[in-house]
Chain A
Amino acid sequence: QQQVKQSPQSLIVQKGGISIINCAYENTAFDYFPWYQQFPGKGPALLIAIRPDVSEKKEGRFTISFNKSAKQFSLHIMDSQPGDSATYFCAASMRGNTPLVFGKGTRLSVIA
């Protein structure tokens, strides 16, 4: 049972374009939704996260949009740069620091 479904598996975006990665979850008890970024040969690192009391969170060029009723959240990367080329994972967990449940990842390639 996959609790967090992520799409697309891979994404190619032109430099300066907008990258959009979507995730859907099933467990309504989830209340913490982070996105992790992973470069080749490295461990994942937290990029940005949101809680369901807000519908959007923005940090620089990265924005999470959250739709509680649809049980979906997405990552938007504005003005995508070649340095953003990485694998992105969405995740979810419940209050109390229960372990994160990860999506399968999206490999983003930003081409010049």
Chain B
Amino acid sequence: NAGVTQTPKFRILKIGQSMTLQCAQDMNHNYMYWYRQDPGMGLKLIYYSVGAGITDKGEVPNGYNVSRSTTEYFPLRLELAAPSQTSVYFCASSYFLAGKTPFKGTDTQYFGPGTRLTVL
């Protein structure tokens, strides 16, 4: 299994440009997440999805959009990029079985390697 994969690894955007960060997982996880990581600020949740066709906002959703048409893919769209969106973006996935919470199997989030985005 490749786990969680993200593309691209690095990207430089100009202010006002748009792009899509790709995320894929091959573990058949139903939950997927997008975080951004800024120095000294930890990980902040942008959007998450509990299954295909279902998405919800996290702590910092402004300036981003997501879609989840399949279990495997969860792309993050940046419209009108701004310098404040310069960050490292991580996608993650987990598996949750409703009604049962075995300690480790359903709470562990698996992270991708990240995309480093710079907006100039």
- A residues within 8 Å of B by Cβ? 6, 9, 32, 34, 41-46, 49, 51, 89, 93, 95-97, 99-100, 102-105
Contacts and interface: CB of A to CB of B under 8 A. Distances in A.
18 contacts: A6-B42, A32-B107, A44-B43, A45-B111, A46-B109, A46-B110, A49-B103, A49-B104, A49-B108, A89-B43, A93-B107, A96-B101, A97-B31, A97-B96, A97-B107, A102-B35, A102-B43, A105-B40
A43 B107 contact: no
B96 A105 contact: no
A43 to B, nearest CB: 3
A103 B106 CA distance: 21
Given A43-B112, A43-B113, A49-B103, A97 B94 contact: yes
A9 B40 contact: yes
B107 A49 contact: yes
Given A44-B111, A49-B107, A105-B42, 16 more contacts: A6-B42, A32-B107, A34-B107, A43-B90, A43-B114, A44-B43, A49-B103, A49-B108, A51-B103, A95-B101, A96-B96, A97-B106, A99-B33, A100-B109, A103-B42, A104-B40
Contact of B111 (A9, A34, A43): A43
Interface in B3-50: 4, 31, 33, 35, 40-45, 48
Interface of B: 4, 31, 33, 35, 40-45, 48, 58, 90, 92, 94, 96, 101, 103-104, 106-114
Contacts of B114: 41-43
The 7 closest A-B pairs by CB, nearest first: A43-B111, A97-B96, A104-B42, A102-B43, A102-B42, A46-B108, A44-B111
